[in-house]
Copies of this chain bind each other. A is one copy, B any other.
Amino acid sequence: MRELEELILKKGKVLEGNILKVDSFLNQQVDCAMMKLIGNEFANYFKDKNITKVLTVESSGIAPAMFTAMDLDCDLVFARKKKSLTIEDNIYKSTVYSYTKQEMKEIMVSKDFIKENDNILLIDDFLANGQAAKAMIALCKQAGANVCGIGIVIEKSFQKGRKLLDEMDMDVYSLARIKSLSTEGIEFED
């Protein structure tokens, strides 16, 4: 998506360790108009898949997933990263390793919100090593739900996540695919 690539080039910052910081429009400050555009794009791409739920992980996935769900006329569900007292034991859970935060986390979702007959679209802000996507797929599998596709805002194509999801035969649609990333510059896939 050209508008997104331009925004990444304009506002993204590259930190040590292949980290792309997009806090100024996606991960902390959120550009609403861009999120709406992103939601439109995902919804349009997956519109024939009869999606019944959009699933993401808190927090940065919520804004783009919200507009996607809105356009697909279905509910958004966000998996939580830690157990709170308002969630009962009635949950599916899975483990994800975050390279950015350098820690293991459990993600979980209530059994009430993903059902056997659901057609799920997964949305996430980043695809790097594919750990979050893999954990969301595991949650859906536990529920017996059907994962119909994965929408990614920014894919770091040089890391192993894309290959992992391709090998799982997933329909992955990434809006910006980064071929290489360094403090010298950012290069996108064609």
Contacts and interface: CB of A to CB of B under 8 A. Distances in A.
A143 interface: no
Contacts of A101: 84-85
A117 interface: no
A180 interface: no
Contacts of A74: 32
Interface residues of A, number: 39
A186 B83 CA distance: 26
B32 A75 contact: yes
Nearest to A82: B101
Contacts of A29: 75-77, 110, 112-113
Q: Is the interface of A mostly helix, strand, loop or mixed?
A: mixed
Contacts of A33: 70
Nearest to A68: B32
A187 to B, nearest CB: 21
Contacts of A85: 19, 100-102
Interface of A: 15, 19, 21, 23-25, 27-33, 35-36, 58-59, 62-63, 66, 69-70, 74-78, 80, 84-87, 100-102, 109-110, 112-113
Given A23-B87, A29-B110, 8 more contacts: A25-B75, A28-B80, A30-B66, A30-B69, A30-B75, A59-B78, A62-B63, A84-B101
